[in-house]
Amino acid sequence: MKIYGRSITQLVEEQLMKWQAQNKKRKKTKEKPGPIITVSRETGCGGSEVAKRLAAKLGMDLIGGQIIQKVAESVQMSEKIIKSLDEKERTKRDEWLTGIFGSRYIWTDQYFHHLTKVIGTIGRHGSAVIVGRGAHHILPKEDIFRIRFTAPMDFRISHMMAEHGLSRQEAEKFIIQTDANRRAFIRQYFHVDLTDPSQYDLIVNLGALPIDVAVETIAVAFKSRWPGILAES
């Protein structure tokens, strides 16, 4: 699988090199990792594009759900990500996870084991926009900004038709199935309702806002919570 013309392995290796450089800099300057933005979105609403532009505006890494899924499925890639933290930081991450899951810190399968540790590792490195895979249920609430993107069904169908050349029937079927799969995933692993508004800090209707306005709105809300974090656009 390729994303933006590069394989998942290439993207992971590039991210690891970036983290290594950041780790060296932080050890010298004692700089703390920045907060994380997590993104949940309805299929076809345009949330992935907003996440991409938001990450660029804020100077943060963009880590998509497809990347996380493939890393969690690959023991070799997962271990590379996990080992990108030093022992002290890995201990802190595991303390996070133990505190979050409590008695539920029992791995139901290898995928969930790696998914949780990989997202926890990204959280320890900080300064990233994570799309999907239930990241907002894994990382501590005080260190993340949880966004949910929505849009009316007609808007999403039209978007999918234009973006992927689908018929209306194909687009609607794809949206319904993908949304159902995402809800089932969150319910299976985190025992919550994906659509519950209390799970998010900000819900944005992309059917009512142009993408650039949505990006600016989120950036302002994010900056109000962490003053000084916003990078120059």
Which amino acid, residue 47? G
Choose between 4 and 199: higher pLDDT.
199
Q: Which residue has the tokens 């890639």?
A: 77
Comparing CA positions, the residue from 82, 69, 85 lying closest to residue 8 is 69
- The alpha carbon of 158 is separated from its chain's Cα centroid by a whole number of angstroms, namely 25
Q: What is the pLDDT of residues 186-214, one digit of tens each?
A: 998 888 999 999 999 999 999 999 999 99
Phi/psi for 85 (5° steps) reads -95, 145
Question: How many Å apart are CA 196 and CA 187, to the nearest integer?
Answer: 11
CATH class of 36-225: alpha beta
The pLDDT of residue 216 is 94
Say yes or no to pLDDT of 232 above 50. no
The pLDDT of residue 30 is 72
Say yes or no to pLDDT of 124 above 60. yes
Q: Tell me the residue length of the chain.
A: 233
Mean pLDDT of the 71-92 span:
75
94 contacts: CB under 8 Å, gap ≥ 6: 120
Question: How many Å apart are CA 215 and CA 49, to the nearest integer?
Answer: 10
Q: Is 53 exposed, middle or buried (0-12, 13-18, 19+ CB in 10 A)?
A: buried
Cα separations in angstroms, 9 against 58, 99, 138 = 25, 31, 24
Cα separations in angstroms, 20 against 23, 24, 80, 228 = 5, 6, 12, 24
Cβ–Cβ < 8 Å for 132, 23: no
**pTM for the full model?**
0.82
With residue 3 as reference, give the H or E element that holds it: strand 2-3
Q: Which two tokens stand for residue 34?
A: 């920045």
Paired with 40 in beta bridges are 148
